[in-house]
Amino acid sequence: MTTHSATAEPSQRQISLPLSKAIEIAFRSLKIRFWRSLITIGGIFFGIAFLMSILTSSALNKAMLDGGSSQVRALLEQKGTDAEAETQQIWLVTLSLLVCVVGITNAMLMSVTERFREIGTMKCLGALDIFIIELFLLESAFQGLVGSLGGVILGCLFMTVSMMSSYGMEPLSVFPVMSVLKFGLYSLGAGLFLSIVGALYPAQQAAKMLPADAMRTEV
C-alpha cells in the first residue's frame, strides 16, 4: 500500500508555470511556423483593413458634411446614401471577418496536430491544462494583434487617399482624428477578439489530450 501511494503521487503532480514562460514558448512556436503564421496574419489583416476602410469612409463623409466646403457638401448631398449599398458593405465585412475566424481555427487545429508530441511532453512533465490553453490563445492573440494593427493602418490610409482622389485636399482639412482613432481601437479590439475566439476550440482540444496518447501518436 505504501509503495503504491508513493508511485502514484508523482504521476499526479502538476507544475504551475508563469505567464512569461507561456509567452516565450508561444513566440518560439510562431517563429518556427513563421510562414503559416504569416498567412493567418494576412487573413486578419485584410479583414480588419476592409472593416477600417468602411468606418473611415463613414467618419470622413460625416466630417465633410459638417465642416467641409459648400461645394463638397453639395456633392455629398447630391450623392446621398444608398441603403442597399450600405447593407451590402455590412454583409461583406461580416463575411470577411467570419472567414478570418475560420482561417484562424483551421491554422490552430493544424498546429495542434503537428505538436502532439510537444504537448504530450509538456503534460508528462506536469504542465497544467490551463497552461496549454494559454499557449494557443497567446499565439493567436499575437497574430491577431499584428494583423489587426496593420489592417487598421492600411484601411485608414487607403480610404483617405481614395477620398482625396475624389475631393482633393478636403478630407485632410477636416480629418476627424478622434473619430478615426476611436474606430481604429474598435477594429483592433475586433481583430483580437476574433483571433481569440478562433483559437478557443483548438486550445481546448490540445488541453484535453492525454499525455500517453500524445506521446504514442505518429505525425
* Type of residue found at 6: A
C-beta of residue 177 within 8 angstroms of C-beta of residue 84: no
Q: Give the span between the Cα atoms of 192 and 199, in whole angstroms.
A: 11
Please write the tens of the pLDDT for every residue from 15-61: 666 778 888 888 888 888 888 889 889 989 999 999 999 999 888 88
**pTM here?**
0.82
C-beta of residue 152 within 8 angstroms of C-beta of residue 52: yes
12 lies in some domain: no
Domain encompassing residue 53: 35-216
Q: What number is the average pLDDT over the span 83-87?
A: 63
Measured between its terminal Cα atoms, the distance across the chain in Å is: 39
3 lies in some domain: no
25 lies in some domain: no
C-beta of residue 124 within 8 angstroms of C-beta of residue 215: yes
Residue 8 pLDDT class (50, 70, 90 cuts): very low
DSSP 15: B
16 lies in some domain: no
Q: Give the span between the Cα atoms of 44 and 198, in whole angstroms.
A: 11
Where is mean pLDDT largest: 67-71, 121-125, 145-149, 200-204? Answer: 145-149
> What pLDDT score does 186 carry?
94
139 lies in some domain: yes
> What pLDDT score does 77 carry?
64
Higher pLDDT, 11 or 16: 16
> What pLDDT score does 195 carry?
92
Instruction: Identify the residue whose cell numbers are 508528462.
Output: 124
7 lies in some domain: no
Q: Specify the number of domains making up the chain.
A: 1
Q: Give the span between the Cα atoms of 64 and 139, in whole angstroms.
A: 41
> What pLDDT score does 157 carry?
95
* Of 111, 7, 95, the residue nearest 54 (C-alpha): 95
61 lies in some domain: yes
Lowest mean per-residue pLDDT among 5-19, 53-67, 146-160, 196-210: 5-19
155 lies in some domain: yes
In three-state secondary structure terms, 168 is coil
